[in-house]
Structure 1
């Protein structure tokens, strides 16, 4: 690394399962990373654990051969104040309790450089509430990794009303450097990731309580049917390919038993009324031109076949 390309300095406050994984990914990408926890001994133990984990990940074929050496060289254990003292980006990953986060974020803001970006890994707490104890709150936002953070590519970026757009741009660049794919979302309780996954979980538990199917059967249906599509397409792309008129009809059918729970979304009704039925009409929720439909279907079919090959290679999960 040249003198004109200085190694970035980052900090992760909270070195448990999520924070530790975030620190591994940042260190593996070549950053100097300082981790802290409730005390220095805990941070030091976490550092040793993360190096040992990296060695196991190499043995399992999950990390490159150089990962343990990179992480050992780039990862440092410190007190909170020392960890953030020279950091340009700080990830807060302490327990999901607002009083603990407020106290931690206040200490971070007081000890870090005034222009250091502070990102909370909160999964549900409003960013505008977490911003309250932070000086220069324009540098604060949510940077929500998914579990397990070394291996899941998606990251939610959540801004509050005062977040500087330049901060978002910089965080997007950092996430790209470590191989993550970002989506910027609004500051609503649960954000997007947890709103969606808990909605699915809630309906799944309803089906169990109603005696329609057991947990094992429901898991099988999810992973082998609509869940099989999700590595490649989100719900709007899936709906557009299926046909929004088909979706509207299915809503009407569901409403015969659950009129409120499955009320037709107004956006869906409006698109169908306007003749925007998805890929077959040249666009629905997403602007997919009709002339791309054949290529899209070809990609979809190849993707599903390749995923099936991967699942056959891996074999069933050791449940």
Structure 2
């Protein structure tokens, strides 16, 4: 059940991965990769901690199987594919890919990445699960930094399908392609983004939170009301469509008008993006004209609307089945 790859000699062997940092995020990433068929070494600051987290991951897997969250047989796959190393050096010695998942402290990551790159094979790829730290800054601690990039899983990693792939300026295209292939083999989806502050995921997430916090601070709505509106309106669409697809379906001329309305109260915060006004001026208004951000042909609009309606009804049925989250 393990994934295999051809070696230069033409023989086959299981893909070997090391995850350095066996806590909540690192452990979850190790689960994902091991269940995807790779042979995964788990390392931490001590052999005892790595072993303790290995044991935890097996217990957790049993619980997930019992709850229907992991397929039957998952724990057996983890037992076959996942192992606890005595230290970082043992874990990375023969790895094809190493994922660093230690705490978000630059010095700790630098020290860890230096140990990894000193002990790893010179052709091994190295990724960091950082969510905030510059990939270029982290690359300073890596020997042969062209093989290094960000591979950012989201919490909880066994269940969130998207992964940010973040090359720095010196990362080779081959490193990016191989890292994406590895993540795809584990059943995840990837998006390649540039090495800028916040990358994409957190830049969007914190922009929404910033606006939400201001609404509550100003007494415009309660935190509960803001959460309700996000969950039941535009947030309801987001599992199926990103912001550009939503804008195309709404009509970019509508978005342009709404920006002008928002500018009456917030002229700088809601300045119309040039990319939007350029499309509107060119008559590219989204799905109704067959051209916009995503250029969905106009003849496919009925098919798209039918999918949208089916998706939203299915989402509501799922929410009804699950019941309300145990927050209140």
TM-score in same-fold range (> 0.5): yes
Alpha-carbon distance in 2 for matches of 1:211, 1:8: 54
Alpha-carbon distance in 2 for matches of 1:34, 1:215: 42
In the alignment, structure 1 residue 19 sits paired with structure 2 residue 26: yes
Query: Which of 72, 75, 88 does residue 68 from structure 1 map onto?
Result: 75
Of residues 244-253 and 1-10 in structure 1, the stretch that sits farther from structure 2 once superposed is 1-10
Query: Which of 163, 167, 187 does residue 155 from structure 1 map onto?
Result: 163
Which digits, 9 at most, give the CA deviation of each residue in 1:138-166, with x for residues without a partner? 10000000110000000000001111111
Cα offset, 1:246, TM superposition: 0.5
In the alignment, structure 1 residue 139 sits paired with structure 2 residue 159: no
Structure 1 unpaired stretches of 5+: none
In the alignment, structure 1 residue 37 sits paired with structure 2 residue 44: yes
Cα offset, 1:289, TM superposition: 1.0
- Alignment partner, residue 209 of structure 2: 201
Query: Which of 264, 281, 296 does residue 289 from structure 2 map onto?
Result: 281
- Alignment partner, residue 176 of structure 2: 168
Cα offset, 1:6, TM superposition: 1.4
Alpha-carbon distance in 1 for matches of 2:73, 2:257: 54
Query: Which of 265, 268, 272 does residue 257 from structure 1 map onto?
Result: 265
- Alignment partner, residue 197 of structure 2: 189
Query: Which of 220, 234, 239 does residue 228 from structure 2 map onto?
Result: 220
SS of 1:280's equivalent? coil
Cα offset, 1:73, TM superposition: 2.0
Query: Which of 304, 317, 325 does residue 309 from structure 1 map onto?
Result: 317
RMSD across aligned positions (CA): 1.1
- Alignment partner, residue 241 of structure 1: 249
How many residues are matched? 319
Cα offset, 1:93, TM superposition: 0.4
- Alignment partner, residue 52 of structure 1: 59
Alpha-carbon distance in 2 for matches of 1:15, 1:131: 21
Q: Which runs of 4+ in 1 moved over 3 A?
A: 1-5
Which digits, 9 at most, give the CA deviation of each residue in 1:3-43, with x for residues without a partner? 94311110000001110000001111221110111111111
Alpha-carbon distance in 2 for matches of 1:109, 1:287: 44
Which digits, 9 at most, give the CA deviation of each residue in 1:32-72, with x for residues without a partner? 11011111111110000000000000011000111111112
Alpha-carbon distance in 2 for matches of 1:27, 1:116: 18
Alpha-carbon distance in 2 for matches of 1:85, 1:5: 19
SS of 2:235's equivalent? helix
Alpha-carbon distance in 2 for matches of 1:317, 1:93: 29
